[in-house]
Structures are given as structure tokens and as C-alpha cells.
Structure 1
Amino acid sequence: MSKADRSRDAAARWFARAQDPDISAQERQALAEWLAASERHRAEYAALERIWGTAGAMDAARLRALAEPAGGAGMPAARRAAAGWPGRRGAWVAGTCALALAGGWLAWQSAVPEPGGRVAGAQVPAAYQAAFSTAPGERRTVRLPDGSRIQLNTRSRVAVHFQAGRRDVALLEGEAMFEVAHDGAQPFIVDAGAGSVTVTGTRFDVRRRTAGMEVAVESGSVDVRGHSDAPRKAGAAVRLTAGLGATVDGSGAVAPAAPVDLSAALAWRDGKLVFNDRPLSEVAAEVSRYRRQPVRVADAVAARLRVSSVFSADDPDALLAALPHFLPVAVRQLADGSAEIFSP
């Protein structure tokens, strides 16, 4: 078996497992590591995502008939597991992918996405809709049909809608990093409530807040506009280039471009939380995004304390355990799973 075939088979097994709602956090982390290890891994997995999107219109009986992997029909469950075959639901997914390929989508295997760009030789669909989300503490990367990629941070939701002449993404909650495939004829527009970001091809981060949004650009350039009912503010745009960021407040007013500490702003992609002289109140709010239950600061004295450190986003409770060792605070775990930081 060639290296490409091994990557394709591994992608099919991982994709099948990822569709199971019972997939564990450890398996999701293992999948993320497998994807990060190779551009070929990411390309093969992205091809399956695109194929899966076409399977909804296919006959369910035929899909189920293809659900058993070749050579696995009479194989005992223990042997199938040892051989790396996915479970029953995963096998159904594999069958779906097999049918999609048999139905004429095989061309996508020789047209995998080029790094950071559009799928070579592939047509971007005239209409495409999808929605993606992450749970507390989860990160997820999805590839779109045009070759663009979205990395979702914890507690994030996006809705994607492609149509003739434009590519729209609504960031409904949380934060996402966008790697946009260049297409001058079809601008890529991210709406985050208070404002929007328009690009044709670049890498940038958008965070939606309760009132407002934040944008940071890693490469290329973007135009940031605020949504406002006030005529004097509406339509005003700020151009951001690499290393610059801007905020949009709840009224739709866009702040001037300013330098951004990208290493801190984008550290979440590597599973890190970076704080540079931030008040403990902000640290607690940020850590709460990565926990199922929030962290609260009980008093004003503790809230004003400053924090400069790096912590793991995958283990926010380690930060809580460390706080009393370098700040004059104590941490109390409450019965509902939340935590309270207070001055002793």
C-alpha cells in the first residue's frame, strides 16, 4: 500500500469516528494531532468532508448496503476493532463516502486542496450551506469547498453560506481563525454581529463578544466595517494588514487600526492561554470560556490583581490550582462545578 493510500485509509477511519457523538475528548485530541502532522492528512480528511456534504441526497438503503467495509462483512467485532475498522455508525459513514466516490466524486481524490488555497481543478459550488460548532474546551478545524479553512475556538458557532458572487460566514458565538482561499471575484465576508470583515484571501482571527467584536490579522489584509443605525457611522471601514487589529463596539463604531500581540491573541490555536499583565477579572472570564461552569472573582481587591503567565487551554483547572501560589488569593470549588476566587 502506498503512502497516499495509507493516508486515505487513515482519513476514512478518523472521519468515521469523528461522526460518532460519543467520541471522547482524548480521541478528538488524537485526531487533531493526526491532522496537524501532515498536509496530506488534512487534505484527505477535507476531501471526505466535502464528499459527506453531498451524501444527503443519496438513497439511504444503498448507503446502508455499503456500510460494511470490504473484507469486514463476516469478521468478528473484536477482529474488526483490532484491525482499526470503525464501529457500526462509523461503518455507515464509510459506506456513505464509498458511495459518493462510486457515484462520480472520485475526481476529488486527485484534486485535494493545495496548502492554503482552492482545490486544484475543482469547481466551487454555486450554493453551499453548513454550520459548525465546538463545545466548552473543544477546538475544531473545518475545510470549506473553496479550500478555505476555519479553526474554531472553544464555545464557538459559525454558519456558512456560499452563493454566486460572495462567500458569507456568520460568527454566531465565540472565536474563529479564518484562512481564506483567494478569489477576487467572490469576496469572503465574516459577520460577527457588531460588524463584518471582508477579504478576498488572507489569515485573520475574529472574536465575537457580548457587545462588539475583535479582529486580528496574521497575513494579508482585511476591511472591517461596523453595523450601525447611525448614518454618520454606517459604512465606515478600517483597513487592517498583517500584525494589526481593531475592535468594533456595540454601537457599530470601528476603532482605528493598532498593533496586536499575535503570539498572545492566537495562542489558543496551540492550546495555550497567554496573559500579559491582565487583571484577574479578565483572566477569570477567559478561563470560563474553556470550562462547562464559570469562574467568578468574589471581591474587588482580587479582581484588580494582575496576571502574566501562560497556561494550557486544555486544562483550565490547572490555572486555578496555580493561582494561590503566585497571587494572594484562594480558590473555592462550588457544588455546581463553578469556582470562586477570593482574597483570603
Structure 2
Amino acid sequence: MDRSESSAEIDAAASRWAVRTDHAPLSRSEQTELDAWLSGDIRRRGAFARAQAMLIHARRTTALGADFDPDAYLAAHRGEAEVETERFTAVDRRRFLRWGGSAAATAAVALTAWFGFDTSAEAYATTRGEVRLVPLHDGSQMTLNTATRAEVRFTQRERQVVLSSGEALFDVAGDAGRPFVVIAGNMTIRAIGTSFTVRRLPDRSVQVLVREGVVELRPGSGGSKPGTRIAANTRAVAVSDAPIRVADLPPAEVSRALAWREGMLSFEDETLADAAAEFARYSDWRISFADPALGGETITGLYSASNPRGFARAVALSLNLEVRETAEGTVLVR
């Protein structure tokens, strides 16, 4: 059985690739080799992104020149230096400034460790209609759906994400010593090496959809309360003051639920009212019904999340309805 790469080995390889890509454009064969390396382990993409960021900092240091005095610089820019104390101590900054570009690869690897155990929270957000992939410091990936906000805080004991609003997909790198925990409203989700989504929308229950692996759900902030374990192809809904509702899903339905990653919305016997509400998450253009009973009609299909008008026209054609447009949106009329 092949031995799994350690984090240190991945960081070292990432720094070498970062230096190669920074030095000159890769040949076609080199690019193919890099793509294969990145796809081989989910942790590699995050490590590569960090190594590239460290090269940028090292290059800025080199540009200061051989006569640059880091102590004098820090004394002259004391106010700016203090702003950075949340990420580096004064000693760390002084050492980093002395390293310079000649030690870029070494700096990338060393600073990866610092970033991996940074305890300050990092906030990420998307606007309406935006989908954003965020490589995390441990090699995990977080994909934010439309109008989503999350804060990430990693420590030596735990990897924590607080989902304030919206929806996110987490592809978690395995680390048995540091559990990956997502807090969303009244629910705490704990995972080690898995893939799952968490949805937290206004006036709705928190939903968790597991694509791979197993997660454990606990009400509130976790603690000693009993947890509920759910496996792949399962959806859990956390209802206030009630047991967690769990339902098995066919793999095809799980795939449909993740169509938003490609900018699409997939419906299977969905009511028009629910479909219209889903489109409203991605656009200011609203879909309404002259007769409220129309909202109970069902629709099946794959549609662009950014094209509510196209969806409304397709629905009208399918159900023999009339389309009327106002300044605010589309009204469907029987």
C-alpha cells in the first residue's frame, strides 16, 4: 500500500512548483505534469496557492535592495508593523525581511506552517450571483454559493468555519488530529476527510448534504450533546426544538443539488414557487404569478442560475402560459 504524503512533503513540492512557474512559462509537458500533481491530492492546491503567495512577498523583499535594513524599516514604519501583529510577530517579520528572494522557496515552506496555525479569522463572501472557490490553508477547499458569508479560523487543535449566511461546499482534507468543524446557526457539523454542503438561508432550517464520507451533526455549539452521524448521499435538516430529520437521497439527486457550482439550477418535480424563490437567490429579477395557484405547478429541468427570464419563458412555453414583464421582473399569467 502506497504511503500517503505528509503535509511537509506536499509543502516542499508546492514550493518547487511555485518557483518553476515564477521563473518562466511552463512547457506543455510541464503544465501537464503540474496539473497531474495538483489533481493527485486535495491538499496540493491549497499548498501551491500559499507557495505562490509567499513568492510574491519574497520578490517584494528583494526589490528593497541589498543595503536594506529591516530594523530601520520597522522603526520608521512602526504603525504599519503593528497593524500586522495579528499575523506575524515583530521577530518573524524581521526574519522574513532578511530572507530575500534568494530563499523564496524556503520561505514558502516555512511560512506555510505559520499560516496553517494562524488563529485570526479570515472572512470570505460572495455577492448575489457569484460562486467562489476558496483554497484553505490545510489543503481543503471551500466553494461559496451566491450571497454567502463565512469566517475561517484554524488552530493547532481545530479547523473551524462559521457559516453566517448562504451555502457552501466543503471538500475536506484528512487530518485526524484537527477535526474540521462548520458552525451554522443552531447546528455544528464535524467532519474528517469528507465532502459536504451546508445551507443556511433566512427563515429556513439549516440543511446539510453529504456527498462523500461521514459527518456528525450536533445541536447548538456541540459540547457533550449526542450527535447524529450521516453518511454519503444523505440530507439532514435541523429544525429548532425538534430531532434532526435525515433522508437518504439517490446519487443523481445529490448531483442535481450541486449544479450551482457550474452556474446551473436543477429541478426535479419542483414547484414553480420554490423554483422562483431559488432564482431570487441569484438575481434581482423576480418571477411572480398572476394566479397564486400557478406556484403549485411543478417543473423539471436544468437552467442557468443567472437567466431567470429564460427560465420564465421556458415555463410559459411548457405550461402554455403568458409572459408579462414589469420593471421588477416577470409575471406568469394563465
Quickly name the TM-score band, shorter chain normalised. 0.5 to 0.7
Q: 1:8 aligns with which of 12, 21, 32?
A: 21
- Please provide the CA RMSD for this pair: 3.9
Instruction: Describe the shift of the 1:101–1:143 C-alpha distance in structure 2 as closer, same or farther (beyond 3 A).
Output: farther
Q: TM-score, normalised by structure 1?
A: 0.66
Greater helix content = 2
Task: Return the alpha-carbon distance in structure 2 between the equivalents of residues 255 and 212 of structure 1.
Answer: 11
Structure 2 CA distance, aligned partners of 1:331 and 1:207?
A: 32
CA distance in 1, matches of 2:125, 2:24: 21
User: Cα offset for 1:63?
Assistant: 7.3
State yes or no: 1:170 paired with 2:166.
Answer: no
> Could you tell me which residue of structure 2 aligns to residue 279 of structure 1?
271
**CA displacement 1:271-318 (0-9 Å, x = unmatched):** 221100011000000011111344334432111110111112243332
Contact 1:272 1:311 in 2 (8 A): yes
Please give the residue correspondences for 1:16-95 in structure 2 after superposition, counting only pairs within 5 Å.
Answer: 40=38, 47-48=48-49, 52=53
Amino acid in structure 2 at the alignment position of 1:133: A
Measured in 1, the distance between the counterparts of 2:23 and 2:217 equals: 40
8 Å Cα contact 1:195/1:225 also seen in 2:
yes
Displacement of 1:128 in angstroms is 4.3
For 2:293 and 2:317, the matched residues in 1 are separated by: 17
Q: Deviations over 1:166-197 (max 9, x none)?
A: 11101111111101111111111111113121
Equivalent residue for 1:325?
317
Within the candidate set 290, 293, 302, 1:310 is matched to: 302
The code of the aligned residue for 1:244 comes to: T
The corresponding residue for 2:180 is 188
CA distance in structure 1 between the aligned counterparts of 2:302 and 2:158, rounded to whole angstroms? 39
The question of whether the paired residues in 2 share the 8 Å contact of 1:331 and 1:339 is answered with no
The structure-2 alpha-carbon separation of the partners of 1:327 and 1:240, relative to structure 1 and needing over 3 Å to count, comes to same
Counterpart CA distance in 2 for 1:251 and 1:102 is: 57
Extract unaligned runs of 5+ from structure 1. Answer: 13-36, 67-98, 112-118, 229-233
Output the amino acid matched with 1:222: V
Aligned counterpart, 1:102: 101
Query: Contact 1:143/1:150 (CA < 8 Å) preserved in 2?
Result: yes
Sort the Cα spacing of 1:54 and 1:154 in 2 relative to 1 into closer, same or farther, 3 A: farther
Unaligned 5+ segments in structure 2 are: 1-16, 26-34, 65-96
Structure 2 residue identity aligned to 1:102: G
C-alpha displacement at 1:153, in angstroms?
Answer: 1.0
Partner of 1:87: none
2:141 pairs with 1:149: yes
The match for 2:287 among 287, 295, 298 is 295
- Letter in structure 1 aligned against 2:319: L
Deviates more, 1:99-108 or 1:190-199: 99-108
1:217 and 2:210 matched: yes
- 2:237 & 2:296 partners in 1: Cα distance? 23
Q: Distance in 1 between matches of 2:148 and 2:137?
A: 20
Q: What is the distance in 2 between the residues matched to 1:151 and 1:222?
A: 18
Show the counterpart of 2:248. 258
Q: 2:288 and 2:232 mapped to 1: Cα distance?
A: 35
**How many residues align structurally?**
268
Equivalent pairs: percent with the same residue?
30
1:158–1:189: structure 2 CA closer, same or farther, 3 Å change rule? same
Q: Secondary structure at the match of 1:281?
A: helix
Query: Which residue matches 2:192?
Result: 200
The Cα offsets for residues 95-118 of structure 1, whole Å up to 9 and x where unpaired, read as xxxx8983855247679xxxxxxx
Q: In structure 1, how many angstroms separate the alpha carbons of the residues matched to 2:272 and 2:201?
A: 18
8 Å contact 1:204–1:218 — kept in the other structure? yes
Q: Cα–Cα, structure 1 residues 301 and 235, in superposed 2: closer, same or farther, change >3 Å?
A: same
Distance 1:44 1:248, change over 3 A: closer
In 1: Cα distance, 2:195 partner to 2:307 partner? 27
